[in-house]
Structures are given as C-alpha cells and as structure tokens.
Amino acid sequence: MRGPRLWLSTVDHKQIGVMYMVTALFFFLVGGIEAMMMRAQLSLPNLTVLAPEIYNQVFTMHGTTMIFLVVMPVLIGFGVYLVPLMIGASEMAFPRLNALTFWLQVCGGFLLYVSFLAGGAPDAGWFSYAPLSEKPYSPHPGLDYWALGLLLLGFGTVLAAVNFIVTIAAQRAPGMTIRRLPLFAWMTLVNSVLILFALPALNAALVMLLSDRLLQAHFFDPAHGGSPVLWQHYFWIFGHPEVYIMVLPAFGMISEIIPVFSRKPIFGYGFVAASTVAIAFLSYGVWVHHMFAVALGRVFISVFAALSMLIAVPTGVKIFAWAATLVGGSIRFTTSMLFAVAFLLEFTIGGLSGVAFATVPIDWELTDTYFVVAHFHYVLFGGTAFALFAGAYYWFPKISGRLLNETMGRWNFWLVVIGFNLTFFVQHFLGLMGMPRRVYTYPNLPGWAPLNLISTFGAVILGFGSLVFICNILASLAFGARAGNDPWDAWTLEWAAASPPPPENFAQVPAVRSRRPLWDLKHPELPDWAAEGGD
Amino acid sequence: MPQRVRLGMALFLLNEAVLFFMLIAAFVYFRGSTLATAASSLHLQAASVYTACLLASSLTMWRAAATGARSWLGGTLALGGLFLYGQGSEYVRLFRQHITISRTQFGTTFFTLTGVHALHVLIGIVLLAIFLILRPSHRTALEAIALYWYFVAAVWIFIFLIVYIWTFL
Amino acid sequence: MIWDAFRPQSPQVHAIAGLFDGFLILAAVIFLIVAGLVGFSLVRYRARAGAADPRPTFGSRRIEIAWTAVPLLVVTVIFVFTVRTMAFVDAPREPGQPPDLVITGHQWWWEARYPNGAATANEIHIPVSRRLLARIESVDVIHDFWTPQLARKMDAVPGRPGYIWLEADAPGAFAGACAEFCGKQHAWMRFQVVAEPEAEFSAWLRHQAELPAEPTGAAAEGTRVFREQKCGDCHAVSAADVRAAKGPSLAHIATRNLLGGELPNTSVNLARWIASPQSIKPGNLMPDPNLTPAGVQALTAYLESLR
C-alpha cells in the first residue's frame, strides 16, 4: 500500500480518510494565513496593510475555506477512517464512491482557489448575499468559481453522506445493534441525514445564483422582480443545519473521548443519542434567526425565535451528560482529555452566546457585530476545532501506530487555549461597543484599538499553537513511541484492530454484546451486557 | 439488486428530491408575478404529449429492468429523446415570443426549473446509452438506472402539475 | 443596569439593554454551574496512581429528565421576555401612518429625506424625546441602518422597506454604521444621528429645505468648476433637486459635522476630499477628479458657501 500511484488510485477507507485529513490540514494552514492577514489589518485603526477589495476577498475565502475545505472534510475524513472500524466492518459500503467523493472535494477546493488567478477571489462573504453577489455589484468571475466550487463540494458531501448511512445501515458487525452503536457513529449517521436534506437547498440556491450571474436570470435581482430575501431563506435553510453538520461529529468525538479518559461509560447514552436526533429536526426550523434584522412579520419571527431557543435544550442535555460522565470517574489528563475538557467550557460559552441571538431584541443590537464573530468562533473553534485536536491526539496512535508527543501536546494545548481565548473573548466586548463585522478597518473609538490589538496578539499565539501541533505530527510520525493496538485501554472496536489497521481491518471482529465490547472482553467478571443500563 | 445499492440510490434520490423541491418552491414563490405570462405563452397540449412520452418511458424502463431486453432499452431511450425534443420545441416556441431566461421573471423560473430537470433526463439518457454500448448484462447497474429514471419521471409529474395544470386551472 | 452594555440613549435601547442584563446573569449562572461541575470533578476525581477503574454507572433517568425540563423552563421564560421587549421596541405604528423621514442606503453613504423636502447625507437630525418613524430603504445592495445607542438594526433591503422608531433621550451626536456587508467601503459607511431640542430641530429642518444662496467671489468661480466637472450629474446642491441622487446631496453641506461619514468637516478635509476621494475612501464610486490646486480651492470655497 505504498507509493504515490497507490494513494491516487486507492479505494481503501483508511487511506482516503487520511487523505481527507491531510488536505484539510493543508487548507487549515491556508485559512489560518488568511485569518492572520485579517488580524494584521485590524490590529490598529486605519491601517492599510490590505486594500478594502483584498480584505473582502480574504475574509470571504477564510470563511469558505474553513467551513467547506477544513471542517467538513476533516470531519468526513475522521468518519471515513473510523466508522467502518468502530462498527466492525472491513470497508465503507461503496469504496469507489468514497474515492470519488474525496476527489470531488479536491476539485472543489481547486476551483475555489484558482479564482485568485482568474481575476480575483470571491468577495461577497461566505454567505454571498444577493444582490451584492450579483453581476452588477461583483462583475469579476470570483463568485462564479465560488458557486461552481461549492456545487462540487456540496455534491461530494452528499455522496459521502449516502455512503455513511448505507455503511452504518448495512455493514455493522453481528451484535452491533443501533442501540449499541458508538456515539461517534451515531452522530455521523444523524449528521449524514442532515447533509442529505441541507446541502441540496444550497445547491438549488447556487444553481439559481449561477443562472442569474451567467444567464442573466433574475431570481435575486430586485431591479427586475427578483427577491434578495429569497436568497437569504435558501442560504440559511442550508446554513443553519450546516452549523450542526460542523459540530455533531465533534460531539461524537467528545462522547468517545471523555468516557475513556474518565474511565466511565457515557452518562445517559440514550439521551445523548436522542438529543442529537432532536437537534437534527429542530435545526431545520431555526434558519430565520439569521434574518431577524430583515423587516419580517413579528409573529413569523417569534416562531423562529422560540424554535431557536428550544434547540438549546438538547444541546444543553449533551453538555450536562459529558460533565456528569466526569463525576465519579478516574480522570486521566492526557492532551486529548485536556482538549476535550476545554471543549466543554469553550463550547458552553459559544452555546450560551448563541441563545442571545435567538433572543430577538438582543439580536437586533448584536447581529452583524464582532459579538457574532466571537460567538461562532467559540462554537467552531472552541467547539469543533478543540474536539478535533482531542480526536487527533486520541486516534493518531491508531492511524499511525505511534503516540503523539505529550510534552509538545501540552505546549500545543496551552498555546491554543490561551491564544484562542485572547483572540475571541475580547471580540464579545467589541461587538457590545458597536463594532460591525466584515469591516476592513475601523475608526479610533474609545476602547476599540486596545481590544483589537489584544485580539491580534492572541491570534499570533493561536497560530504558534497550531504550528506546534503540525510539528508534533511530523516529529511523532518519525520518532513517536510505538502505540500498540490499544494505548488508552479503550472500549470500542477500532482498538481491537492493529495500529495501523491492515487493509482488511480485523482478522476477527470481537463479539459485540454491549456498547463497550472491549470492556466486556477485558472484564469478564463485570460485563456491560449484564449490567442494568449497560445495553 | 443488492439491498445496499437500492438504499444508496434511494438516499441519493432523496437529496435530488429536496433540490427539486427547492426549485419548485422558487417557481411558486414568483408565481404571482409570472402567472399571466405563463398562461399566455405555455402550450398545454404539446406539453401533455411529451409528458406522456416520459411517463411511457417509465413503463418501457420497467420492462427493460425486468427483462434486460435491448429492445425495451432502446424504446426507453427513444421516448426519453422524444421528451427532450418536445421540451426543446417548447423552448423554441417561447423564444419566438421573446420569452427567455433573462427577459421575464417567468422565463427565469421556468427555464431554470425545467432546464435542471431536462439535464437530469439527459444524464439518464447518457447512462442508458453507456449501458447499451458497454455492459448489457450488468443487472444491478440497470436497476439503479431504472430507479433514477422513475424518479426523474415522477419529478416531472409534479412540475407538470404545478407549471402547466395549475396555470390553466 | 448591572453593566452599561450598549450605553443606551433611547427607551428602545434601554429595554434591549435590560433584556441583555437579564440574559447575561442567566448565562453566567449556567456557565458557572457547568464550569463548577467540571472543575470540581477534575480535582476530586483525577486518577490516583494504581487505582482501578470505577464501577460502571450508566446514567440516571431522573437526573436526565431534570436537566431537560429545567432548561426548557428557562428558555420559556426568556421567550416571554423576548416577545414583550419586541413589542416595545417595534411598537406598532398607526395604520397608514406616513414616515417622518426616509433613510436610504447607497453604496456607501446614507441619504435622509424629510417630508418638507429637506435632504441630507450621512447626518440625520432628530428632535429630543419625540420618536420619529423612519423608513429604511436601499437602492442597490443590502445595507443595515444601525445607531447602537438609539435604535435596533434594520436591514435596508432593496424593494422591501423596513420601519424603525428613531428617538433620543438627550441632545447629542450618536455614531451609526452600516451593519450589513455591502462591498468595498462597508467599513466607512458610517453616519451620525444628531439629536437636538425641538426648536433647534425645526429650525434646522426649515433651513435644510431652503434654496442655496447665490455664490459670490471665489465661490462663484467654484460653480464654474462644478459645472465643468459635471459634479451635478451625481450631486444635488439644493434640496429641491431630486434628480441627481447618485452621490450624496451637497445641499447645505457646510452645516454638517462630518465628511464621508467620518472626517470632521473642515476646509482642509473638504479640499483633501475634493482633490482625491479615492485616497480617503478607496473604492468609493466618485472618481478622482484631476483638478488643479486652484480648481480644488474654488470648489472648496463654493461648497463652503452652501450653508
């Protein structure tokens, strides 16, 4: 299984998973450099590091890259690598489709970035509100590349979702009932259903936008009877489920990692799984909270406000379940666990500030300010990215056969935690002081300059923290300690395979009689399947 | 056909169904301002004829999937082609009335919706043609294409009801 | 007021700030509960050397139902306060009530028109302690009219006007900004709302609707440059002229506090702007005019005569 040709033509789920992760890491660097460019420009008022049109391209590409080329592919990558192993399968249901979805991802990313060479990158934000995204206001072809690239990425993501659902439906090992499914697989399953319903809404909107831009149709152009609000509805019908698409698999990772390092099963498996389904349903009824500042009817807005608040409840259930898993445990502070615990706290902040935006009058003050930027970075960085760091430290030994270095891990952790909070916590205050988002510069109003400088300073630390992570991967690949099959004394099936697993994954899949088949093997005196609530 | 292929295809078509739902919703969203143009420019009789072709092609597709006979496949291809021809002549008729995707709001919604559907029919025809030329004995593939074909015809029924029947009701 | 968020200067924003305070307390309590539970566990239940795994426990239906039900109750309370505050901030207007002023977003400036014909740009005057009904519109892309201390945000969506109440408790100049990304100069699409006592406001309003005085001396030379450069294609110089609205109205520009939404309105700044608008607000729709220094001076004198 070595050599570039074999990587290019592989249909092995583990190789494809690794390729997803490596491409995502590459784009994480690209998106990170874009973030640094923005923070440089914003470090002090009235700077001219970036011209306004360049700044607009950079923030558009930062958002689009981080969402479509980093978070989604890396989550799919972890899923593609882990789901078959976790359910005791030897492959995904459709291995060639799996390869196709990965290469569609690569092509989509290429299309997005080739726009820089074709007259300018897209510059209307990752949400591309019409009519700013229409030809008269954005005449260069950047947005066409954006729409075409996203169509490819969206199509690929849908195919990946199909593959996940069929894999989990049809490839489970004997005894792996749906109620014994590891929570990461559960959340990947729910996530795939979300993708199946959300991405086509984006694809429809993109087809309409491309009709407008390339064929002079008038879907979103008010001068000819089109409706800019229609774009907003379509985009957010996709866009809000998308937020959960980017966070559910991260929830799944946390639900695997916290129990193992607390040495206890998850507290309330049923509620954690069921609350995921509740989130998925509710996520289709909350999109209008992105549009509260539009003149829509008050009753209409109130309904969406209620649903948006309601979705906090199943999310809260998860946070409480993770916290309660710690209680009475025997907690091991590996780097992976540190990130998982930090996730709990950071994500709670992001979740709570999210409720502010469901509270309509607060949204009327705070939407489109830096408070929003702070909020969703607490969700997507403090939430998803922290979970991904935790997941990387947890599963790297399985993938590579070597442990990531724990000393570098501590540096990685503390730099990222300090840098992240410095960067984004102060942005809450900037929002409250009235600083709008998506501005390339700002007036020197009282307090704005020092807070922005702190934010930029934090971003530099965060950047160093991320570089330590990459160095740790490279160093550990070469010199890391051998991991063995089961370095964490864990309980799900992937730890029964060799590290790294051979092409067929398992010589023999262990018997599955509960949610923790390896616990049952190691503790025949106290198997889960004999315990009340263990199955 | 293996269960997992059927499930996979069904899930993929579910995604396509959402796509068409959104496009049809956009058509309906603008219906108030496009209805007059639609009523004065669409040709219900002609559309009924090529709609019948597409529906008939589902029947021949069903026979083709059941028997694997090249003649039924050829019939499906021909009927699908007739549908596209019928739709093409509808387009030409509209162009002669100066209704294009850019000139009227009706053109915007009508051509985008029916165009995306026609693209789906075309993909079906290409798949069938590839199948006819390359692997006439691969049953799973044929059944998967058949599922796709039924779906495309079913979507057209909704489009026909909303774009044509509802307009002339 | 536990913390002076938004520094409210109107009843509407006071109400929002009050709601935010309540929300903040609630959020802090919830965060402290979670952080306390996590912090306590990390200290109390850290692994001791050689300790065996604890005996597995799998959850408790009672606790799980409790931590579903209590948050449900909490969000219900938040929702009730949300609806009440919404009704206060967006108080209904009389049926058919005409707006007291129409505010229109342009790339990248704000136009305000009053029923008496007065028109101004980037500086909106209101009387103290009397709420005005403002209609928010846009002629190009989506903007958002936001004066953080005085009123909620309202998106300016082309073809879909929105209404807000604009009101201030005390006299003063309040900063405002476009809050919806609208292109290259979104950052400097800033403006000021000037609240003044009723008498001063009505005097201002009457004056803004008047025709400009006939220019003399250097200003008269400026009118020639103004014509030559076709400035009038985009800019009106009197409130009565409603045709030229591509650029901000220059009627009574000398009475305004700010230029381009941010610069203090001084002779030096005005001359800088006239000489090279692109170097002050790069990407804005006014091309650099290529004037001689004398031309700049004349034009500055003319605009300064528009009092």
Rounded distance between C-alpha atoms, residue C78 and residue A309, angstroms:
8
C20–A contact, CB cutoff 8 A? yes
Our measurement of the distance from residue C297's CA atom to the centroid of its chain's CA atoms, rounded to an integer in Å, reads: 32
Q: Residues A50-65: pLDDT tens digits?
A: 999 999 999 999 999 9
**Average pLDDT of span C106-110:** 95
**Chain A hits for C18, Cβ within 8 Å:** none
Q: What single string gives the DSSP state of each residue in A104-132?
A: HHHHHHHHHHHGGGTT----STTTT-TTT
**Chain C hits for A432, Cβ within 8 Å:** 5-6
CATH of domain C101-209: 2.60.40.420
Residue C241 is predicted with a pLDDT of: 79
What average pLDDT does chain C have? 93
Find out whether C143 and C181 touch, Cβ atoms under 8 Å: no
Q: Residues C284-303: pLDDT tens digits?
A: 999 999 899 999 999 999 99
Residue C53 phi/psi, 5-degree rounding, is -60, 140
> Are C16 and A364 an interchain contact pair (Cβ–Cβ within 8 Å)?
yes
> Are B112 and A200 an interchain contact pair (Cβ–Cβ within 8 Å)?
no
Find out whether C258 and C192 touch, Cβ atoms under 8 Å: yes
Residue A4 is predicted with a pLDDT of: 60
Q: Are chains B and A in touch, 3+ Cβ pairs below 8 Å?
A: yes
Selected residue of C67, C122, C133, C136 to mutate for chain A interface (largest A Cβ count, 10 A) = C67
| Secondary-structure class of domain C218-305 per CATH | mainly beta
Rounded distance between C-alpha atoms, residue A415 and residue C6, angstroms:
32
C98: CB partners within 8 A, 6+ apart: C115, C133
Instruction: Give the percent of chain C with pLDDT over 70.
Output: 99
> Are C38 and A341 an interchain contact pair (Cβ–Cβ within 8 Å)?
yes
Q: Residues A386-420: pLDDT tens digits?
A: 999 999 999 999 999 999 999 999 999 999 999 99
Q: Does domain B3-168 have CATH number 1.20.120.80?
A: yes
**Average pLDDT of span A244-272:** 96
What Rg value do the Cα atoms of chain B yield, rounded? 17
* Distance from the A40 Cα atom to the nearest Cα atom in chain C, whole angstroms: 16
Residue A430, classed as helix, strand or coil, is: helix
**Chain A hits for C68, Cβ within 8 Å:** 271, 313-314, 316-317
Find out whether C303 and C226 touch, Cβ atoms under 8 Å: no
Rounded distance between C-alpha atoms, residue C142 and residue C186, angstroms:
11
pLDDT at residue A223 tops 50: yes
Nearest to A166 among B7, B22, B29 (CB): B7
**Chain B hits for A226, Cβ within 8 Å:** 105, 108
pLDDT at residue C244 tops 80: no
> Are A267 and C57 an interchain contact pair (Cβ–Cβ within 8 Å)?
yes
pLDDT at residue B60 tops 60: yes
pLDDT at residue A1 tops 60: no
How far is the first Cα of chain C from the last one, in angstroms, to the nearest whole number?
42
Q: Residues C18-55: pLDDT tens digits?
A: 999 999 999 999 999 999 999 999 999 999 888 888 98
Task: Find the Cα–Cα–Cα–Cα dihedral C263, C265, C271, C275, rounded to 10°.
Answer: 40
* Distance from the A89 Cα atom to the nearest Cα atom in chain B, whole angstroms: 14
Residue C123 is predicted with a pLDDT of: 95
pLDDT at residue C1 tops 60: no
pLDDT at residue C239 tops 90: no
> Are A323 and C175 an interchain contact pair (Cβ–Cβ within 8 Å)?
no
> Are A208 and B101 an interchain contact pair (Cβ–Cβ within 8 Å)?
no
Instruction: Show which residues on chain A lie within 8 Å of chain B, measured between beta carbons.
Output: 93-94, 97, 158-159, 161-163, 165-166, 169-170, 196-197, 199-201, 203-205, 207-208, 211, 215-219, 224-227, 230, 234, 237
Instruction: Give the percent of chain B with pLDDT over 70.
Output: 99
Q: Which of B20, B33, B32, B28 is nearest to B113 (CA)?
A: B20
What average pLDDT does chain A have? 95
**Chain C hits for A42, Cβ within 8 Å:** none
B82–A contact, CB cutoff 8 A? no
Residue A5 is predicted with a pLDDT of: 65
> What are the residue boundaries of the structural domains of chain C, listed by start?
1-39+61-91, 101-209, 218-305
> Are A436 and C177 an interchain contact pair (Cβ–Cβ within 8 Å)?
yes
Find out whether B39 and B168 touch, Cβ atoms under 8 Å: yes
Nearest to A369 among C13, C149, C179 (CB): C179
pLDDT at residue A205 tops 50: yes
> For residue A506, what is the DSSP state?
-
Rounded distance between C-alpha atoms, residue A384 and residue A343, angstroms:
8
A40–C contact, CB cutoff 8 A? no
> Are B112 and A159 an interchain contact pair (Cβ–Cβ within 8 Å)?
no
> What are the residue boundaries of the structural domains of chain A, listed by start?
1-182
Topology annotation, domain A1-182: Cytochrome C Oxidase; Chain A (1.20.210)
Rounded distance between C-alpha atoms, residue A191 and residue A157, angstroms:
11
| pLDDT top residue among C51 and A382 | A382
Rounded distance between C-alpha atoms, residue A448 and residue A454, angstroms:
10
Nearest to A211 among B3, B16, B112 (CB): B112
Residue A281 is predicted with a pLDDT of: 94
Instruction: Give the percent of chain A with pLDDT over 70.
Output: 99
**Chain B hits for A237, Cβ within 8 Å:** 22
Say if residue A501 is preceded by a cis peptide, omega within 30 of 0: no
**Average pLDDT of span A519-534:** 88
Q: Residues A296-323: pLDDT tens digits?
A: 999 999 999 999 999 999 999 999 999 9
pLDDT grade, residue A2 (50/70/90)? Answer: low
> For residue C120, what is the DSSP state?
E
**Average pLDDT of span B8-30:** 97
**Average pLDDT of span B69-81:** 93
Nearest to A330 among C20, C45, C187 (CB): C45
What Rg value do the Cα atoms of chain C yield, rounded? 27
Q: Are chains C and B in touch, 3+ Cβ pairs below 8 Å?
A: no
pLDDT at residue B148 tops 80: yes
Interface of C with A in 241-300 (CB under 8 A): 262, 282-283
Residue C2 is predicted with a pLDDT of: 45
pLDDT grade, residue A278 (50/70/90)? Answer: very high
ipTM over 0.90 threshold: yes
pLDDT grade, residue C188 (50/70/90)? Answer: very high
**Chain A hits for B11, Cβ within 8 Å:** 161-162, 165-166, 196
C1–A contact, CB cutoff 8 A? no
Find out whether A462 and A423 touch, Cβ atoms under 8 Å: yes
